[in-house]
Chains A and B, each alone.
Chain A
Amino acid sequence: AQTVTQSQPEMSVQEAETVTLSCTYDTSENNYYLFWYKQPPSRQMILVIRQEAYKQQNATENRFSVNFQKAAKSFSLKISDSQLGDTAMYFCAFIPGRDDKIIFGKGTRLHILP
């Protein structure tokens, strides 16, 4: 079965600190796509960052970066210089290469404290 596991249900950090959200996944596919989505209190799902499994280089988007370890099937998200607006639920997700359905983890609720 293809699954996504987020082991941290909830986290809190002070503003301006760096925080890392964990994600592991399980798949037998060799090609797939990984994502982190953010869902703020408005509940709009927002794409934070994406990674193609065949690319070794870790994706970065401004303050957001990932640590992609393909052999370990790990895909953690690092948020640098955290801001109050980063408070949200964060979902790790992936799409197996031959499919178009997205598989979500259960999410990590992140609180950025002033």
Chain B
Amino acid sequence: GAVVSQHPSWVICKSGTSVKIECRSLDFQATTMFWYRQFPKQSLMLMATSNEGSKATYEQGVEKDKFLINHASLTLSTLTVTSAHPEDSSFYICSAPDQTSGSRETQYFGPGTRLLVL
């Protein structure tokens, strides 16, 4: 299956700093990528849809100025948590569908990024 990577796998930062998380599709191109947030023992919550070459689409209740998304190429989307605070501590996951495959609707997930804001 298709492979999606995330970097970094974990990050600890001080309150008030910004953190950038990268999501890459390694062996396919992705015009669309998705960013999720997952709290312990809970399901994935969709934050936004990242669109290559255009603005991201944010889900209701997600602050677009807080969570900046850039999809600058067909293999890379970045999520920047600006002025991070302890309540932003969470597990962030990205996914992308391999739209060139026979199962274009199937999404492949990155390994996730653990963010801890002190």
Contacts and interface: CB of A to CB of B under 8 A. Distances in A.
Contacts of B43: 91, 104-107
A43 B92 CA distance: 11
A45 interface: yes
Interface in B75-118: 91, 93, 95, 97, 103, 105-109, 111-112
B42 interface: yes
Nearest to A94: B105
Contact of B42 (A42, A101, A106): A106
Contact of B107 (A42, A102, A105, A107): A102
B34 interface: yes
B95 to A, nearest CB: 7
B105 A95 contact: yes
B112 A44 contact: yes
Interface string A95-110: 1000011101111010
B111 A50 contact: no
Nearest to A105: B43
A101 B49 contact: yes
A44 B109 contact: yes
B22 to A, nearest CB: 17
A9 to B, nearest CB: 9
B34 A50 contact: no
Interface in A23-60: 33, 35, 37, 42-47, 50
Contact of B34 (A33, A43, A44, A102): A102
B91 A47 contact: no
B107 A50 contact: no
Contacts of A101: 34, 46, 49
Interface in B35-92: 38, 41-44, 46, 49, 91
Given A33-B105, A47-B106, A91-B44, A102 B95 contact: yes
A60 to B, nearest CB: 16
Contact of B103 (A50, A91, A100, A109): A50
Interface of A: 33, 35, 37, 42-47, 50, 91, 95, 100-102, 104-107, 109
